[in-house]
């Protein structure tokens, strides 16, 4: 899957999102910048396990994607599963946008993730399944990985 395939799937997911939100801008950036932005946002995540994230700007939301990281995460998936994965990670960010939960500390961050998980589980079961598989992969990694 190349970047233009990804953009098609992402845009499709945004346009078909079942909740009403102001349309976010999507941007693909290379890994070094992606990593710096993640640090700036103080998102303490595993870089190579973070395919995208949303940032709130004055003019609206931007969802940043890193193609390199996505490729590594999906390269052993079937074509169909790659597509669902991309839809799922996009839906995840769209629910963050819809929820508009301010995050000031780690506790609120965790709560915000749990809410998104519940929402996706309820409304998008197919995508939820693939996100759970992905989460299990992450959970199996050593703590300080
Ligand atoms: Zn999240």
Give me ligand 1 centre to Cα 74, in Å. 19
> Across residues 55-84, what is the average pLDDT?
94
Give me ligand 1 centre to Cα 104, in Å. 14
Q: Which domains does the chain have, with CATH numbers?
A: 3-139 (3.40.390)
Cα 92 → chain centroid: 5
3-class secondary-structure state, position 28? strand
Give me ligand 1 centre to Cα 96, in Å. 7
Give me ligand 1 centre to Cα 30, in Å. 20
Give me ligand 1 centre to Cα 41, in Å. 13
- pTM score, two decimals? 0.92
- Per-residue pLDDT at 102 exceeds 90: no
For 133, half-sphere exposure in the C-beta direction (CA atoms, 13 angstrom radius) is 14
Query: What pLDDT shows up at residue 123?
Result: 96
């Amino acid at each position: 899957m190349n970047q233009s395939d990804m953009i098609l799937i992402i845009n499709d997911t945004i346009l078909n999102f079942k909740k009403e939100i102001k349309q976010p801008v999507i941007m693909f950036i290379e890994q070094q910048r992606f990593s710096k932005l993640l640090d700036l946002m103080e998102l303490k995540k595993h870089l190579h396990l973070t395919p995208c994230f949303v940032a709130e700007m004055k003019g609206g939301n931007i969802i940043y994607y890193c193609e390199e990281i996505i490729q590594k995460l999906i390269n052993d998936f079937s074509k169909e599963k790659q597509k669902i994965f991309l839809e799922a990670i996009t839906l995840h960010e769209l629910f963050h946008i819809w929820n508009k939960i301010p995050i000031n500390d780690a506790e609120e961050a965790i709560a915000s993730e749990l809410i998104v998980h519940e929402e996706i589980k309820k409304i998008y079961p197919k995508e939820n399944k693939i996100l759970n598989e992905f989460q299990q992969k992450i959970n199996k990694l050593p703590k300080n990985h």
